[in-house]
Amino acid sequence: MLYPIHEIFYTWQGEGVHTGRSAFFIRTMGCPIKCPWCDSAGTWHPHFMPPTVTRLSSTQLAESALTHQPDCVVITGGEPAIHDLAPLTSALHAKNVPIHIETSGAFPLRGDFDWVTVSPKWQKKPLPECLQVANELKLIVEDTTSIERWMEVLGDPSAFPHIWLHPEWSKRNDSTVLATISNWVKTHHHPFRAGWQLHKNYNVDALDPRSHPQ
């Protein structure tokens, strides 16, 4: 099976429980959710998409990943779950590589994953079946009401092992947003955790020339 690929690159995971671990990223093309602040708009926005789309087989992707012997492979997008990832996860598991996925949770997962990160989006809310298998949630905090509004949708926080609260990246210096996260964690405790996109501070993705900034 051939997958439309925006980029593959070797880096380390900059978010969530596995922060700091070496990771081979596979970023698929396509996302129908269209968040206004998307930091991967090259996967779907006509102004940022490449003129031609690279298509790689599950075998090619697994072999590229194995070259680096990473701690894990992260399949992301775009929205990776719009694709049937079962052939890709079979090929990767045949190489004994742990497979992580980062998804909005708005589409059924096809494939076998060792770690599921769900980052829900308002434009298309997550499916219960995706929330049930989430090893961690990542909520994007845009304003002082974001966390409260999400928890009204998501229900009992104790159903989730970790709920990361990330400032929307353009608001990373907004003291009001940062204080909202800090106060929520100090008031509500586990499973809430203050999060950050640490790889962006390190600019680590750019060390691999195969990565694209957009």
Residues that bind ligand SF4 (CB under 6 A): 31, 33-35, 38, 40, 43, 77-79, 104, 121
Q: CB 59 → ligand SF4: shortest distance, Å?
A: 25
Residue 18 or 27 with smaller CB distance to ligand SF4 = 27
* Structural tokens at position 182: 């800090």
User: Which strand ranges, in their side-by-side order, compose the sheet holding 192-194?
Assistant: 54-57, 2-12, 22-28, 72-76, 99-103, 115-118, 136-141, 163-167, 192-194
Q: Which is nearer to ligand SF4, 43 or 89 (CB)?
A: 43
Using only C-alpha atoms, the chain has a radius of gyration, in whole angstroms, of 17
The three-class DSSP label of residue 80 is helix
Half-sphere exposure of 175 (CA within 13 A, CB side): 0
Which residues are paired to 192 by β-bridges?
163
In the complex, minimum distance from the CB of residue 212 to ligand SF4, in angstroms, rounded to a whole number: 13
Q: How far apart are CA 9 and CA 211, in angstroms?
A: 6
Q: Which CB sits closer to ligand SF4, 40 or 117?
A: 40
Least distance in Å: CB of 47 to ligand SF4? 13
Based on CB atoms, which residue is closest to ligand SF4, 38 or 185?
Answer: 38
Q: Is the CB of 105 or the CB of 111 nearer to ligand SF4? A: 105
CA dist list (Å): 92 to 96, 109, 117:
7, 16, 18
At closest approach, how far in Å is the CB of 98 from ligand SF4?
22
